[in-house]
Amino acid sequence: MALDAWVNESLYPAWGQRFRVKREIARAKSAYQDIAIFESESHGRVLMLDGVVQITEADEFVYQEMLVHVPLLAHGAAEHVLIIGAGDGGVLRRVLEHRGVRRAVMVEIDAEVIRLAREFLPGIGGAAWDDARAEVIVGDGIAYVAEAADAAFDVVIVDSTDPVGVGEVLFTEAFYAHAARILSPRGVVVNQCGVPFLQAGELVETSRRRRKSFPYVTAYLAAVPTYVGGFMTLGWAAKDHSLVGLPVKELTGRAAAAGILGRTRYWTPEIQAAAFHLPPYIAELMPH
């Protein structure tokens, strides 16, 4: 690919971003989606699925840290974690940074995403792929959740594409009903709900569906530069109201016990405490 080549993201028809490309790293068409990895001038290596940016080496830490550390530290004693999607390995890596995690099951439907990420984005998953606590399954996350035992997990993390195409089934009422069943009494499920400035309907509809199975539904915020349009929301559905609103001192102690305090680049106890305070334009989208 020529040095003056640009890649345009195709997520929105009327607003977008583009990356100047140093070189194309890999391109494949799996049974589920078009996969591309390229080296950008500004963000390091970039993974795109069906023309939409999934992760970049430069800012992946923001999304991964908030998707993982917030629910695990809110729970406080999570030992069994289920990850749906997240084929790049970053979520698995962050989950396994927690000393108390005994088992992390990752179910990714597209084996080609895992293969390419392991080969061409090795820094994102790191050594997590070979951790004895990790169980990586190439398969259907919906089927896995439907068949899992009651109360088998403390936290369920859904890292999927937007609710279209291959990711659509991970946002259904049936999925959340099964997620509630397989979670322990203090269990929580989190998933990305898009950028509400541009994708308000995604947050509204996902929150409504989660509300059918969970007594406490909200969202929290992360500012990920490559997810354009302002704050990204991470959806939160829990059985226990007390998991949100923990004081900074408590979160600091839990992070120290988990072994992550001082090792993060975005997450802090203060960031977690503040992340659930939604600006009015986002708060008004939540079910009441």
Average pLDDT on 221-230 reads: 96
Write down the CATH superfamily of domain 6-56.
Spermidine synthase, tetramerisation domain (2.30.140.10)
Q: What is the pLDDT of residue 174?
A: 87
Whether the predicted pLDDT of 139 surpasses 80: yes
Max CA pair span of the chain: 55
Fold of 60-283: Rossmann fold (3.40.50)
User: Per-domain residue ranges for the chain?
Assistant: 6-56, 60-283
Residue 275 has φ and ψ, to the nearest 5°, of -65, -25
Average pLDDT on 221-247 reads: 96
Q: Enumerate the β-bridge partners of residue 27.
A: 36
Whether the predicted pLDDT of 97 surpasses 50: yes
Which is catalytic among the residues 50, 88, 159, 240? 159
Q: Which residue, 118, 155, 114, 117, is CA-closest to 137?
A: 114
Average pLDDT on 268-273 reads: 98
DSSP 14-38: S---EEEEEEEEEEEE-SS-EEEEE
Taking the C-alpha atoms of residue 93 and residue 180, their distance in angstroms, rounded to an integer, is 24
Taking the C-alpha atoms of residue 48 and residue 127, their distance in angstroms, rounded to an integer, is 23
Whether the predicted pLDDT of 166 surpasses 90: no
Q: Which residue, 145, 146, 144, 171, is CA-closest to 159?
A: 171
pLDDT level of residue 15 (50, 70, 90 thresholds):
very high
159 a catalytic residue: yes
pLDDT level of residue 1 (50, 70, 90 thresholds):
very low
Q: What is the pLDDT of residue 167?
A: 44
Q: Which residue, 186, 196, 107, 171, is CA-closest to 145?
A: 107
Taking the C-alpha atoms of residue 229 and residue 11, their distance in angstroms, rounded to an integer, is 11
State percent of the chain over pLDDT 90.
91
